[in-house]
């Protein structure tokens, strides 16, 4: 029975992971399909870059993967420990003679532990992102944002301002597509006309993400240079998706098979015990 529970849990976890794996795999290759992080080029003030927390997509992916492994281990093992402790209490010991009630208790324990760790994970992330969110936040007009006002006071080149404001518009909730398109087009033109473009320290992967999110394809030479990297990410994402579907199907199949066999054995043992009695 325990094997059936573990296998079914693995199957469900694999099934859920299918819908999140693409972003994770892309992040492992250092790219993203949507702008989630503000990249500050080296030309900007060092103090500002230290003030704004800006991990890259790869570090975010590794962090997410680490938290996932931690939550799986703690939740699964912790749920068994909680059920084991509860079984020592007479009230639960009587009720846990039913496999269904025992499974429900285990599942509730897993959900509580998983939810608690998820809260801690995102609470820590919110603390890290607090400065960034206040820096790029605006209601109706991007000119209301602190980043826009900072750029107006600074001596940052217009191309650098376009790079930052395009990201800001794409990170706005909801996405400010009109403003993002304006600044993305300025960036594409500047790549051809600004002789210092390569000196600003723009991240090619971020340029690709901006253009992909705005135009659904890479238009500038630098962004197009990331296509091979994106192709590898897509290739491995497809493989991971198929593997997860396979794990999910096999886990659920074997869990049902083990549950069926265990149920038959339990019923047979019950009949034998009844005859003997």
On the question of pLDDT at 269 being above 80, the answer is no
What's the start-to-end Cα distance of the chain, in Å?
Answer: 25
Q: Which helix (H) or strand (E) holds 193?
A: helix 177-193
pLDDT in tens, 8-17: 666 677 777 7
pLDDT in tens, 114-125: 888 888 877 776
C-beta of residue 57 within 8 angstroms of C-beta of residue 27: yes
Name the pLDDT band for 191 (thresholds 50, 70, 90).
very high
C-beta of residue 262 within 8 angstroms of C-beta of residue 8: no
Angstrom distance (rounded) from CA 85 to CA 125? 33
- So what's the pLDDT on residue 232? 93
* Nearest by Cα to 251 from 2, 72, 11: 11
Name the pLDDT band for 7 (thresholds 50, 70, 90).
low
Angstrom distance (rounded) from CA 201 to CA 128? 24
Q: Which two structure tokens, joined as six digits, stand for 155? A: 């001596």
Q: Which two structure tokens, joined as six digits, stand for 159? A: 């191309």
Q: What is the mean pLDDT of residues 24-33?
A: 86
pLDDT in tens, 168-188: 999 999 999 999 999 999 999
């Amino acid at each position: 029975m325990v094997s059936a529970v573990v296998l079914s849990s693995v199957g469900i976890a694999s099934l859920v992971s299918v819908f999140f794996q693409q972003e994770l795999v892309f992040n492992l290759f250092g790219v993203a399909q949507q702008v989630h992080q503000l990249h500050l080029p080296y030309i900007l003030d060092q103090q500002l870059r230290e003030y704004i927390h800006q991990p890259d997509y790869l570090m975010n992916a590794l962090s997410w993967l680490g938290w996932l492994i931690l939550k799986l281990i703690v939740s699964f093992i912790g749920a068994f420990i909680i059920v084991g402790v509860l079984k020592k209490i007479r009230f639960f010991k009587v009720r846990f003679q039913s496999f269904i009630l025992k499974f429900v208790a285990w599942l509730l324990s897993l959900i509580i532990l998983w939810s608690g760790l998820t809260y801690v994970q995102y609470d820590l992330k919110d603390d890290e992102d607090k400065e960034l969110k206040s820096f790029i936040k605006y209601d109706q007009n991007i000119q209301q944002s602190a980043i826009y006002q900072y750029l107006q006071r600074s001596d940052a080149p217009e191309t650098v301002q376009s790079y930052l404001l395009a990201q800001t518009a794409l990170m706005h909730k909801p996405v400010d597509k009109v403003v993002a398109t304006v600044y993305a087009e300025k960036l594409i033109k500047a790549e051809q006309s600004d002789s210092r473009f390569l000196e600003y320290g723009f991240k090619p992967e971020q340029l690709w993400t901006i253009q992909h999110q705005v135009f659904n394809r890479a238009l500038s030479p630098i962004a197009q240079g990331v296509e091979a990297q994106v192709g590898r990410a897509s290739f491995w994402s497809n493989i991971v998706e198929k593997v997860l579907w396979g794990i999910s199907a096999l886990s659920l199949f074997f869990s049902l098979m083990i549950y069926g066999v265990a149920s038959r054995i339990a019923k047979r043992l019950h009949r034998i015990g009844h005859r003997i009695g």
